[in-house]
Structure 1
Amino acid sequence: MLIGEVSRRSGVSARMLRHYDRLGLVQPTGRTSGGYREYSPDDIRRLFHVESLRTLGLSLDDARRALDEPGFAPSELIGELVRHTRQRIAAEQELLTRLERVDAAAPAQWGDVLRIVTLLRGLESEFEARRQQAVLSQDAELPVDALVEAALAEDDPNVAGALRWSLARSGGDGLGGLAAGLESDSVDVRRRAVAALGAVRTAEATALLRHVLDDPDRDVRDRVAITLGARGDADAIPALLEMAVEGRRDVEAAETLGLLAETSGSGEDIVSALRGALDASEPAARLRITQALAEIPGPAAVAALAALTRDADRTVAATAAAIATRRGE
């Protein structure tokens, strides 16, 4: 079979066939009566073997070694090809994500494209100051998906604060990504998602936070309770009571309970729960409960403090008396 027919049937260009011939990779072994080189069935078979190996990403030299060297072991080379292919796919996926984020921002001018690309590159910097500057220096609409991804991965508190501020300005457009962060297996990601949602003052953000009041991580629960309580959400009361009694951010929890007592009309219920916890509490917890009562307005808290001035624990009694005196003044 002559080169032209081989090219038509195999799909390999005549130019490439000649290149294979010069390299000694696929050389026609026959000759026509006119002296033209002719490909034998074995030559065609070798050609298809070469093309098959090339589809795996092998170089021409590797393909020749694989076909000609009896001791050539494929495992190491195939493993290397797998690693390179994964790296290439990751790079292509990164490029695709970047293009999608630029497209989502709907840039009207190339200047807008350049600003967005500058932001994306800045968010990838290894330097905290550069990441923070990349967020704070932008005055154009930012790709929210990129901000959410960065916020869920950021460790530096200053950069994280800038990202949360920027997400708050977006008006809740990134809630879907943050909701996915609340479902993450990583505790750190869930904590960052809670912090970011805390900066978004919308009913949808509040509803998302309410769903993680029973998160398996205590710190996540505490952060959510403080955030919801500050928004006047009475669903946070049980968690805040637990924090105040057990001594986890107890000052902040007590202050938030005081706010809820004023805004939700639940002051008597809060006082009743705190008094109910007194009997089963050790001295340090009883003191925290006494101090928490100081934050609760209304006559129920006054009566509870008056009773505590006669407590068997002298520190609790003295603290209750001091609080009662201060409230009287």
Structure 2
Amino acid sequence: MTRPTVLRRRWRRIGELADATGVTVRTLRHYEHTGLLAASQRTCGGHRIYDCESARRVYHILALRELGFSLREIRKAMEGRTSLPDLLSEQLERAEIQVARATKLRDRLRKITKNTESDVSVDELPAHLDAMSRESCGQPRRRARAPDDGDR
């Protein structure tokens, strides 16, 4: 009678799981360390081996990471401590804030690059951006104080 092998039982060693899922061995170890993933079994020599469910779990983690969730948020969702709709709503709010910031940055960059009448130097850029920010917000902004020799 032959002994069942890792491949016949569809078990994968950590390197094989890494190759199959497109992540590094280091990432899988980190997921295990943070409680997101657990080795299905260990060999007599102490090597981690994973089953098909482990691979599915890695794909779920990757899908949630692609949506921008932190590992802490993913763990909460996978443990059922928070609902996915709540997480998605929070992530949508964060995405909308990022889009607004990126739009504002794009508009500033566009304004600077289209203003060919004056060349803005690196030294003048902070003041230029500050003035543009005051124009767009309609509010005066506090100026950052430059460090002087007495601040060291």
TM-score, with length taken from structure 2: 0.71
Q: 1:14 to 1:119 in 2, by over 3 A?
A: same
Q: Which residue number in structure 1 is paired with residue 50 of structure 2?
A: 39
Identity of aligned residues (%): 28
- Report the Cα distance in structure 2 between the residues aligned to 1:108 and 1:67, rounded to whole angstroms: 50
Q: Which residue number in structure 1 is paired with residue 33 of structure 2?
A: 22
Selected match of 2:111 from 101, 106, 121: 101
Q: Which residue number in structure 1 is paired with residue 122 of structure 2?
A: 110
Q: Which residue number in structure 2 is paired with residue 126 of structure 1?
A: 139
Residue 58 of structure 1: how far off its partner (Å): 2.0
Residue 72 of structure 1: how far off its partner (Å): 4.0
Q: Which residue number in structure 2 is paired with residue 92 of structure 1?
A: 102
Q: 1:22 to 1:97 in 2, by over 3 A?
A: same
Q: Which residue number in structure 2 is paired with residue 248 of structure 1?
A: none
Segment drifting more, 40-49 vs 29-38: 29-38
Q: Does residue 70 of structure 2 align to residue 59 of structure 1?
A: yes
Segment drifting more, 38-47 vs 72-81: 72-81
Q: 1:62 to 1:113 in 2, by over 3 A?
A: closer
- Tell me the SS of whatever aligns to 1:110: coil
- Report the Cα distance in structure 1 between the residues aligned to 2:122 and 2:46, rounded to whole angstroms: 61
CA contact (8 A) 1:20 1:26 kept: yes
Selected match of 2:84 from 68, 74, 85: 74
Q: 1:120 to 1:108 in 2, by over 3 A?
A: closer
Gaps of 5+ in 2: 1-11, 142-152
- Report the Cα distance in structure 2 between the residues aligned to 1:122 and 1:72, rounded to whole angstroms: 40
Residue 33 of structure 1: how far off its partner (Å): 4.4
**If you compute each CA radius of gyration, which structure gives the higher value, 1 or 2?**
1
Residue 8 of structure 1: how far off its partner (Å): 2.5
- Tell me the SS of whatever aligns to 1:58: coil
Cα deviations by residue, 1:270-329 (Å, 9 ceiling, x for unpaired): xxxxxxxxxxxxxxxxxxxxxxxxxxxxxxxxxxxxxxxxxxxxxxxxxxxxxxxxxxxx
Residue 89 of structure 1: how far off its partner (Å): 0.9
Tell me the C-alpha RMSD between the 2 structures: 2.3
Cα deviations by residue, 1:212-238 (Å, 9 ceiling, x for unpaired): xxxxxxxxxxxxxxxxxxxxxxxxxxx
Residue 117 of structure 1: how far off its partner (Å): 1.9
Residue 79 of structure 1: how far off its partner (Å): 1.2
- Tell me the SS of whatever aligns to 1:48: helix
- Report the Cα distance in structure 2 between the residues aligned to 1:114 and 1:73, rounded to whole angstroms: 43
- Report the Cα distance in structure 2 between the residues aligned to 1:120 and 1:108, rounded to whole angstroms: 13
- Report the Cα distance in structure 2 between the residues aligned to 1:84 and 1:108, rounded to whole angstroms: 32
Residue 83 of structure 1: how far off its partner (Å): 0.9
Structure that is richer in helix per residue: 1
Gaps of 5+ in 1: 131-329
Q: 1:99 to 1:47 in 2, by over 3 A?
A: same
- Report the Cα distance in structure 2 between the residues aligned to 1:58 and 1:108, rounded to whole angstroms: 38
CA contact (8 A) 1:102 1:113 kept: no
- Report the Cα distance in structure 1 between the residues aligned to 2:29 and 2:88, rounded to whole angstroms: 27
Residue 66 of structure 1: how far off its partner (Å): 1.7
- Report the Cα distance in structure 2 between the residues aligned to 1:2 and 1:33, rounded to whole angstroms: 13
- Report the Cα distance in structure 1 between the residues aligned to 2:71 and 2:120, rounded to whole angstroms: 46
Aligned residue pairs, count: 127
- Tell me the SS of whatever aligns to 1:77: helix
